[in-house]
Structure 1
Amino acid sequence: MTDSTPQPLNVGLVGYGFMGAAHSHAWRTAHRFFDLPLTPVLHTIAGRTESAVAAAAQQYGFAQHTTRWQDLIEDPEIHVIDICTPGDTHHEIALAALAAGKHVLCEKPLANSVEESAEMAAAAAEAAQRGIRSICGFSYRRTPALAYARQLVEEGFVGEILQVRAQYLQDWLADADAPMTWRLDREKAGSGALGDIGAHVIDLLQWLSGEDIVAVSGTLETVVPTRPAAGAMQGLGGKGDTSGERQQVTVDDTALFSVRLENGVLGAVEATRMAQGRKNAMRVEINGSTGSVAFDFERMNELEIYDATAPAGRQGFTRVLATEPEHPYAAAWWPTGHGLGYEHTFTHEVVDLVRAIGEGTDPSPSFAEALHVQRVLAAVEASDADGSRWTPVGPQTPTTQETSA
């Protein structure tokens, strides 16, 4: 009799904050609800502060911890490197991991610049030839309702796409006295609301429509130019330093931009952390010739669909509760109607990555797809610098001088 127990897939995770917690939960949970070809094992977690990373290892369930991410790269027993650190560190860690033959899950945005993202995408493409898989963490794709929306668009439910729109609205920085955080430091974060949350809806618009964004016209605004110094750089919320010192905010608080898809369709995007009352309103709508699909993550188990071919008198948006076994990912979880949460999107991300590793296929979104998102972000910044003129998105985002010529 042969042993059919799946082989272990040892995970090394870099970072123990907000994303580290979410990813740890996903690695710990995925194989308990989904049939996977490999069994994830929480092997080692890395972080800068010994006491904090030791506590995280115990809380999240890792067997070992270290203050050097390089230890994860050098350990031959570790198969996957999961990068949950600020964007300024993604490039170095991912390149080292891929060169060492480790599979890589890297949080979004892929890096803080087009140049670094391009290097990562090239390295991932080369590593794929050696059987090494990589994926960028645009986890919202794994929301069952959104995955179902993509199915509907692919099947032709909305017909010819006429217009797209997306918003990502949060309010955790609306208070001018909310403390400074690494997310407000351009050196660490790359950009503000644009890259932090706008990147998600850029990815979703392209994924849902099946069309790349090829040009943008945008405006960025830093609403609160200084913040109280924080005793420790924090991710979301928290209290600032009471000394009265304020630090300069070097990223945008709000991003507004128009987009043009490669098929010529126009769209509108808004990303802000200044929308009072909106906690995590990630909203996307695709309007077509025969129907529409609309989604808001604050009601993440619901999808609104509109059938424009229905007889007059019976038209209107219909609420679909995306918890049926027929909906993507839903069959592995609870009985119909019981709903899923934010953490499930990361579990589904891990499921798709582990299956790709086991099957020898390339998961999505690839580093190449994430690179295009980075190019869109760069084009929005270039458009803002050039007075909101239409700016093309391409392999090399044009400079202000080039777009003014």
Structure 2
Amino acid sequence: MDVDDLRRLLSAEGLRLLDEVGELERSADVVRTVSRLRAAGHDGGLVAAVLEQARLRSRARAKFGDFADRMLFTPAGLEQSTRLRVAALHAGRFAEAGIDVVADLGCGIGADAMALAALDLGVVAVERDELTAAVAAFNLAPFPSARVELGNAEDADLAGIGAVWLDPARRDGATRLKNPDDWSPSLEWAFDLARRLPVGIKLGPGIDRDLIPDDFEAQWVSVDREVVELVLWSGALARPGIRRAALVLSAGGIAELSAAGDSPDAETGDLAEYLVEPDGAVIRARLIGDLARSLDGRMLDPTIAWITSDELPATPFGQVFRVVERFPLDVKTLKRELGVRGIGTLEIKKRGVDIDPAQFRTKLALSGEAGATLVLTRIAGTRTAILVERI
């Protein structure tokens, strides 16, 4: 989408057509819709812009729910935007810290700014890309406490601002920028800002942990078992005594594991009746030891994120499996044992072993109607295969 497409969409005709088209989920829907709209005499450029937005709205429902039906998107903006459920938690932290006005620097299509404004916080949303800023302005139009400014984060006027939300641009077109000095704004600039104002900085979850300042709270966030972001909180936005946190969102609710720092590893021991695969946020936050101790469990290996327990663990911080059988990690043995059980569909979970699951599955020559999950790992340094079933 370009600026001309956006102008077409923002016309009375464009907005009416967009509402009329609704969701488009199948290619057949698109073909029929194009034929109908062109037959009705609508401009081809407008039809293309409407259809692109309809498809983006359909995709956006996973992040924004029903709110997607009144929003506009760019493809990159949708991909990089914060899920509304997560953005609401971000906004709550600003409100709880007593912040009145927040600058959202690098606001993208405005997801976090919407969540902040929904709590009646004043929001100054700054975006350097003209098209994206215009989309953000549309999305923020229902919120009188929010305004959008076109410009660079580094040049934003922060007079009267109580705190900052910052999502540095980490791409140059399709290229991911690995060096934090190349981000816009740079990570060094963001840290310098955090010495003057409370700041929340949204980053990719895989950032080098050595870059995290000691006086920041680092919170990894996962949604439905996918680690989606790391947020660094400073000043009044950082909770006292907490430097590491794993926030887990699922259909069952919200849970958080936190600590003053990386947790020491739990004791190691042999395989028990149950296995727990910690959530990715727990692993990234290095809170595996704390989780293991909370479950009266132990680790299979000091370098591998598997927890085993004699009692059935109940936890929102990981997937729980019951151990069915343990085998040596040997293709011939596994091929025979899985064949006896008639296993033709196999999920392979590997950790701590250098194996390509797809190639390994091919070697097993699976056949049969049954399905199973196979864990490939190490126990006390020994390569091991564990047949498990999900709890």
Does the alignment reach a TM-score above 0.5? Answer: no
Q: Which has the larger radius of gyration?
A: 2
Shorter-chain TM-score bucket reads: 0.3 to 0.5
TM-score by length of 2: 0.34
1 or 2, which has the higher strand percentage?
Answer: 2
Higher RCO, 1 vs 2 (CA within 8 Å, ≥6 residues apart) = 1
TM-score between both structures, scaled by the size of structure 1: 0.33
